[in-house]
Amino acid sequence: MANQYIDKIVQRISENTNTTSNPGIIIASPSEEPPYKYHWIRDSALVMRTFVDMYETTKQPIYFQYIINYIENESKLQNLKNTRSGLGEPKYEINCKPFQGEWGRPQNDGPALRGIVLYKIIRSFKYKYDTLISTLILPIILKDLHYILDVYNQTSFDIWEELNGWHFYTRLVQLKFVKDSIHNYHLIKHSDISIEILRDTYRKLIRGLKDHLTENSIISSFDKDGNITKGPDASILLAFSHISYDDDILQEIPFQFVNRTCIDLVNHFRKKYKDEDLHLIGRYPDDKYYDGHIWVLCSCCLGQTYIELYRRNNIINYSSPMHRSKSNPSNNYIEVANQILERILTLDTNLILPEQFNANTNEYLSAKKLTWNYSELYKLYKGLN
């Protein structure tokens, strides 16, 4: 699987993964300002998808070791007693101690994402390593599952750690975790969680998610009183990607609705940069964080979304101006995804990628070498190659 870009992507992740004093710690970024040198439950679970895929593809022992380190570290973090929000704690110090500062907590997507990737790890092991699965992996899954069953009907902070309320992203990844638990119930049937409870929770999460649907679009967030706090948001694209575009779930939550989100986001950032050919996005319109410039991970997920829209053939023709460029009006989703990939890959020859950059000047902004960037870039690259 020799490939210069894959090698660089994996190298950048590896450099942010601690293999010495605290193996399994994955820092969000080496940046001290803004302060990102922490282990986020969400980010680390998403990054582990790359190592799992590399293990499945190459069978190299180093990726197996990364997986084992991650599992052991998550077990340690999960069992810490003095966290401020239990398993809803978003991030930890790199010395494996709880972060005690003020923060947006709880964040109830992290335990769900961890559960999703742990089930993926079990599948990648092809249900071998029975002792490892039964004594280490399943206890983590069950604690996370108990937590989600307790809190799925409570508000929490969103993926961007800014708004407390009800969030499409959080609900969708929780739904995927519950669905995976139903599918893998043979592994957890010895627990005190019944299949009926899981099925009932699945149905209730579906109902909650449908509150986010309008006639042809998706509302990202509501506050605790049900008022809309966020409409178009890149977290909607990320949500579908992070459940691997699960076919059963997409029968309930129409994936084609994401097209409206893509159009709204692309349109906003084209106006921001006065560039009618731009196919890059940030988080959401009028983002104030570092003046809301282009986010690498959001743009990579936009490319992933276009690939999936094309694959599912939800759009028969490519008439939307958001999915073509002025210079090449025949552009379709795959061509646009390739444009996004090329722009990101050419930002820096060594792929030292920031959290944000100015699309007009290429000035880097916010955290440097954001680890999450690379997991989304990896998935975009693999989707096109």
* pLDDT higher than 50, residue 329: no
> What HEC string does the chain produce?
CCCHHHHHHHHHHHHCECCCCCCCCEECCCCCCCCCCCEEHHHHHHHHHHHHHHHHHHCCHHHHHHHHHHHHHHHHHHCCCCCCCHHHCCEECCCCCECCCCCCCCCCCHHHHHHHHHHHHHHHCCCCCHHHHHHHHHHHHHHHHHHHHHHCCCCEECCCCCCEEEEHHHHHHHHHHHHHHHHCHHHHCCCCCCHHHHHHHHHHHHHHHHCCECCCCECCEECCCCCEEECCCHHHHHHHHHCCCCHHHHHHCCHHHHHHHHHHHHHHHHHHHCCCCCCCCCCCCCCCHHHCCEEHHHHHHHHHHHHHHHHHCCCCCCCCHHHCCCCCCCCCHHHHHHHHHHHHHCCCCCCCCCCEECCCCCCEECCCCCHHHHHHHHHHHHHHC
User: Quick check: bond before 34 cis, omega within 30?
Assistant: yes
d(CA 180, CA 177): 5
Residues 6+ away with beta carbon under 8 Å from 323: 262, 306, 315, 331, 332, 333, 336
> What number is the average pLDDT over the span 351-360?
97
> What number is the average pLDDT over the span 357-384?
97
> How many residues are there in the chain?
385
Under 8 Å between Cβ of 234 and 301: yes
Name the token pair of 120.
């993926």
Residues 6+ away with beta carbon under 8 Å from 267: 322
* pLDDT higher than 70, residue 375: yes
Name the token pair of 145.
């599952």
* pLDDT higher than 80, residue 381: yes
| pLDDT score for 263 | 94
* Residue 165 β-bridge partners: 156
Under 8 Å between Cβ of 178 and 198: yes
Q: In terms of pLDDT, which residue wins out, 55 or 316?
A: 55
Alpha carbon dihedral 379, 161, 264, 308, in 10-degree steps, equals: 20
| pLDDT score for 310 | 87
* pLDDT higher than 50, residue 278: yes
d(CA 90, CA 83): 10
pTM above 0.85, yes or no: yes
| pLDDT score for 316 | 42
Instruction: Please calculate the CA angle 39-233-384 and round it to the nearest 5 degrees.
Output: 75
| Mean pLDDT, all residues of the chain | 93
Sign, Cα dihedral of 289, 17, 96, 166: positive
* pLDDT higher than 80, residue 273: yes
Tens-place pLDDT, residues 100-129: 999 999 999 999 999 999 999 999 987 678
| CA distances to 89, 124, 343 from 362, in Å | 34, 39, 10
* pLDDT higher than 80, residue 300: yes
Q: Which amino acid is at 72?
A: E
* pLDDT higher than 80, residue 311: yes
Set out the domains of the chain in order of their start, with CATH numbers. 4-384 (1.50.10.10)
